Amino acid sequence: MVCKLHKSIYGLKQSKSDYSLFTKGSGNTFIALLVYVDDILITGCNQLEITSFKSLLHSQFKLKDLGNLKYFLGLEITRSKKGIFFITKKYALQLLEDSGFLACKPAMLLMDPKLKLSSLEGDLVLDTSMYRKLIGRLLYLTISRPDITYAVHKLSQFVSWPRKPHLDVAHHLLQYIKASPGQGISFSAHSSFQLRAFADTDWGACLDTRKSITGFCIFLGDYMISWKAKK
């Protein structure tokens, strides 16, 4: 059965920043619903409201409630009285194994900051699909690894015609991930709601286009909630 929605599900409003996120709130009540194909996350500040909402969904669709969130699309989630911790250790180890780097020597340095990559220097990579697949999987890993965001986005600029220097940097990045596959993001249960943002740019350092690469990160209290690097 295929259903066409003429409006958001049951009065929920879509988030303008993420079209798979739906929210519902009134007064002290707030519920958020995140959908990815057939995987759904539901959270809120009132357990009774969440239970009632799940019953409403179950009355319309066949659902399987897996309980408290522990694993979602490669993300491993643990919680305690101190807060919530997100990691992608299982995903990272599987990436290393599939790439043949599970037993590699770990690297402490992410990327040489003085390295300048070009789309014209070096021999072309013969298996371009292998490079594209690797970069795609690394892009997903940035969900919980802001430390690799710049390097991965830099390498993603060469997916059309990757060359050996690009592949060498990607392999070095795998060695860096091997050093700390369980690294992730923590969100404390006790933190301020002060919003801070930081940005930087390299002012036209791209060898091919002379365009700048800008990066930013946004903190809520002491914890990073958004980050990106873009040409």
- For residue 169, the model assigns a pLDDT of 94
User: Where are the alpha helices (H) located in 25-163, listed in sequence order?
Assistant: 47-60, 89-99, 128-141, 149-155
Half-sphere exposure of 189 (CA within 13 A, CB side): 7
pLDDT of the chain along its 231 residues, tens only?
Answer: 777 766 655 556 656 667 788 888 877 888 999 988 888 999 988 888 899 888 988 888 888 888 888 988 888 999 888 888 989 999 999 999 999 999 999 999 888 878 888 888 899 998 999 999 999 999 999 988 989 988 998 899 999 999 999 999 999 999 999 999 988 988 888 888 899 999 999 888 788 888 888 889 999 888 888 888 888
- For residue 25, the model assigns a pLDDT of 83
The helix (run of H) or strand (run of E) holding residue 66 is: none
Tell me, rounded to whole angstroms, the distance of Cα 133 from its chain centroid.
16
Residue count (the chain): 231
- For residue 97, the model assigns a pLDDT of 95
Residues 6+ apart with CB under 8 A from 110: 147, 148, 151, 173, 176
User: Where are the alpha helices (H) located in 128-226, listed in sequence order?
Assistant: 128-141, 149-155, 164-179
Q: Return the amino acid letter for 224.
A: M
- For residue 190, the model assigns a pLDDT of 84
178, 106 Cβ separation under 8 angstroms: yes
| CA proximity to 74, closest of 139, 30, 131 | 139
What are residue 169's phi and psi, to 5 degrees? -65, -40
